[in-house]
Chain A
Amino acid sequence: MKRTTPDKFKRQAHASLLAAWMAAVVLLVTFQPASAHTEGKMQLSAEPAGPFKMTVFSSPDPATIGDIHIAALIFVAEDARPVLDADVLVTVTPVDGGGPSQKSQAVQGDSENKLLFEAIIDVSTPGLYLVSIAVEDADGQSGQASFELGVSSDEGFNWIYLIPVIVVVLVVVVLITFRMKRRGTSQE
């Protein structure tokens, strides 16, 4: 029996829906929104800060204007025990002195990883910034560490994202080669 037009339309609609969903999943996996999952660039690695040590991440990587996530793991220098009850303040200051500083309280609830203190700071001007993280625990002990962060206006390209494209191209090339080979064999 010949396939009717509504059948064809239905099949195309279903296939399009499935393809759109698959594309959305691939895009979400490839370009996950910045989140504090100990991800982004590790800016400080167990950096001493008074009686504490800090491991700090910034995302997105590379940093661009807009929301920048600063996430810090803070632990006691002596035994590397994580610090969970502390006031953590993130300050972002332009290095060339061309603008005001921005301060934001880093909190645990904002990140999926509840061991992390996370702050989100909106940086609107490209340039070099000094990011300082100051911590004070419940006993009044405090420490501070900082790093410089270059913020650009346009999104730089992370070459790692080319991997899925390369894989897809390779699969297509293999399939085409295989098809051509088979056609050649059947013609013989």
Chain B
Amino acid sequence: MDPLLRATLTSWDWRVEVISVLALAGTIYLLGWWRVRQRTISKQVHSRWHAKAIWRPVAYVGGLLILGIALMSPIDVLAAQLFTFHMIQHVLLVMVVPPLLLLANPLPFSIWGLPKSLRSPAGSLLKRDSLVRHGLQKITGAGLVWMAFVIVYWGWHDPNAYDLALRNSFVHDLEHITFFVVSVLFWWHVTGAGPKIHRPMSQGVRFAFLLSAIPITMLAGLAITFSTEPIYKYYEAMPRLWGLSVMDDQRIAGVIMWVVGSMMYMVAALIIAARWLQKEEAKPSLPRSAWATKDALATPGIEAK
């Protein structure tokens, strides 16, 4: 095997704090899902949670695995050498992992996965009139979340902030945590996962909300792709892997952000649009008597007096 490829593929950073968070989150969710499933089968819990659906745990575990890959695999280790790797990592953290995790409706299942003694206190944190619920309601409205997404996404791509993140692992973690949190909040509104503390979005608003994310990634991607000089000076001090120049690396990273980043929201928006249209089609058609009268056919839209 090519020594460079071998060195790249064997560059893993096994971080105990990441593994412990992923393992605990996965165990609690799966345990909760299993408990709810057993109760659903015996009709003790309302079936609207779709606990029988196997795709939920598959999506959740898949999301956790991709999160682990983004944070510990060569993608993370080599993000400091190649901008392209860093961009792939950000796409995974912002556009792939959050929807996968939230499609699994993690909160209710995770509460069921807690020990019995903690279930009720955990649930009461979000009950009606609780401080946490009111606080969350105030700070996580769709408009604020969209604004936070813009600030975080564009803010971290400022050359100074980005270079600082590359030079300091704590800042790098902070960058990833903020990316992840705002993305989870964004996709929370889109997927309608629990806790349902906001008024649910209609399909049309959901569609528009998804489309509103496209300019955020597209504009940043375009700026990076068509820049005529290296934006992030840090990469100029790095060896060039596979003969990729600093500018080529920057262009590829920009295209990933522009095309792949926008595509994720576009695909989700198309799925929402398809479901929206399906619902419209399912509506009962107007009775023939309502439109097939002589007058209505002669002058459509004008009622006969």
When the two chains form their complex, are residues B117 and A42 in contact, meaning their CB atoms are under 8 A apart?
no
A137 at the interface (CB under 8 A from B): no
Which residue of the partner chain A has the closest CB to B3? A84
By secondary structure, the A interface counts as mixed
* From B17, B24, B134, residue with most partner A Cβ within 10 Å: B17
Q: Pick the contact of A29: B7, B118, B173, B243 (CB < 8 A).
A: B173
A58 at the interface (CB under 8 A from B): no
When the two chains form their complex, are residues B131 and A175 in contact, meaning their CB atoms are under 8 A apart?
yes
When the two chains form their complex, are residues B77 and A39 in contact, meaning their CB atoms are under 8 A apart?
no
Q: Report A-chain residues with C-beta under 8 Å of the C-beta of B12.
A: 112
When the two chains form their complex, are residues B169 and A39 in contact, meaning their CB atoms are under 8 A apart?
yes
B239 at the interface (CB under 8 A from A): yes
Q: Report A-chain residues with C-beta under 8 Å of the C-beta of B240.
A: 75, 79-82
Q: CA of A160 to CA of B167 in the docked complex: distance in angstroms? A: 12
* From B6, B81, B168, B239, residue with most partner A Cβ within 10 Å: B239
When the two chains form their complex, are residues B13 and A37 in contact, meaning their CB atoms are under 8 A apart?
yes
When the two chains form their complex, are residues B243 and A79 in contact, meaning their CB atoms are under 8 A apart?
yes
When the two chains form their complex, are residues B134 and A113 in contact, meaning their CB atoms are under 8 A apart?
no
Which residue of the partner chain B has the closest CB to A56? B237
B58 at the interface (CB under 8 A from A): no
Q: A11-B117, A14-B117 are in contact. Are A37 and B80 (CB under 8 A)?
A: yes
When the two chains form their complex, are residues B118 and A18 in contact, meaning their CB atoms are under 8 A apart?
yes
Q: Report A-chain residues with C-beta under 8 Å of the C-beta of B114.
A: 14
Q: Report B-chain residues with C-beta under 8 Å of the C-beta of A25.
A: 17, 20-21
Min CB gap B5→A, angstroms: 11
Q: Report A-chain residues with C-beta under 8 Å of the C-beta of B171.
A: 160
Which residue of the partner chain A has the closest CB to B21? A25
Report the number of A-B residue pairs with Cβ-Cβ less than 8 Å: 116
When the two chains form their complex, are residues B169 and A163 in contact, meaning their CB atoms are under 8 A apart?
no
A93-114 residues with Cβ-Cβ distance < 8 A to B are 108, 112-114
A21 at the interface (CB under 8 A from B): yes
When the two chains form their complex, are residues A112 and B77 in contact, meaning their CB atoms are under 8 A apart?
yes
B79-109 residues with Cβ-Cβ distance < 8 A to A are 80-81
When the two chains form their complex, are residues B239 and A80 in contact, meaning their CB atoms are under 8 A apart?
yes
Q: Report B-chain residues with C-beta under 8 Å of the C-beta of A81.
A: 239-240, 243
Q: A14-B117, A15-B121, A112-B11 are in contact. Are A39 and B168 (CB under 8 A)?
A: yes
When the two chains form their complex, are residues B168 and A160 in contact, meaning their CB atoms are under 8 A apart?
yes
When the two chains form their complex, are residues B81 and A37 in contact, meaning their CB atoms are under 8 A apart?
no
A63 at the interface (CB under 8 A from B): no
Q: CA of A95 to CA of B20 in the docked complex: distance in angstroms? A: 44
When the two chains form their complex, are residues A161 and B81 in contact, meaning their CB atoms are under 8 A apart?
no
A55 at the interface (CB under 8 A from B): yes
Min CB gap B303→A, angstroms: 50
A32 at the interface (CB under 8 A from B): yes
B69 at the interface (CB under 8 A from A): no
When the two chains form their complex, are residues A14 and B118 in contact, meaning their CB atoms are under 8 A apart?
yes
Q: Report A-chain residues with C-beta under 8 Å of the C-beta of B138.
A: 178
Q: CA of A22 to CA of B8 in the docked complex: distance in angstroms? A: 32
Q: Report B-chain residues with C-beta under 8 Å of the C-beta of A30.
A: 170
A155 at the interface (CB under 8 A from B): no
When the two chains form their complex, are residues B81 and A114 in contact, meaning their CB atoms are under 8 A apart?
no
Q: CA of A157 to CA of B237 in the docked complex: distance in angstroms? A: 27
B248 at the interface (CB under 8 A from A): no
When the two chains form their complex, are residues B131 and A14 in contact, meaning their CB atoms are under 8 A apart?
no
Q: Report B-chain residues with C-beta under 8 Å of the C-beta of A2.
A: none
B10 at the interface (CB under 8 A from A): yes
Q: CA of A25 to CA of B236 in the docked complex: distance in angstroms? A: 33
B binding-site residues for A, Cβ under 8 Å = 3-4, 6-8, 10-17, 20-21, 24, 77-78, 80-81, 114-115, 117-118, 121, 131, 134-135, 138, 166-171, 173-174, 236-241, 243
State the 4 A-B residue pairs at the shortest beta-carbon distance, nearest first. A75-B239, A11-B117, A28-B17, A82-B239
**Additional A-B contacts beyond A39-B167, A83-B239, A182-B134 (6; CB < 8 A):** A29-B173, A46-B236, A75-B240, A82-B240, A84-B3, A114-B6
A and B contact pairs by CB, cutoff 8 A, 20 listed: A11-B118, A15-B118, A21-B24, A28-B15, A28-B16, A32-B170, A37-B13, A37-B77, A37-B80, A38-B80, A41-B167, A73-B238, A82-B239, A84-B7, A113-B11, A113-B80, A114-B8, A114-B10, A114-B11, A160-B170
A binding-site residues for B, Cβ under 8 Å = 7, 10-11, 14-15, 18, 21, 24-25, 28-30, 32, 35, 37-39, 41-42, 45-46, 55, 73-75, 79-85, 108, 112-115, 158, 160-161, 163, 174-175, 178-179, 182
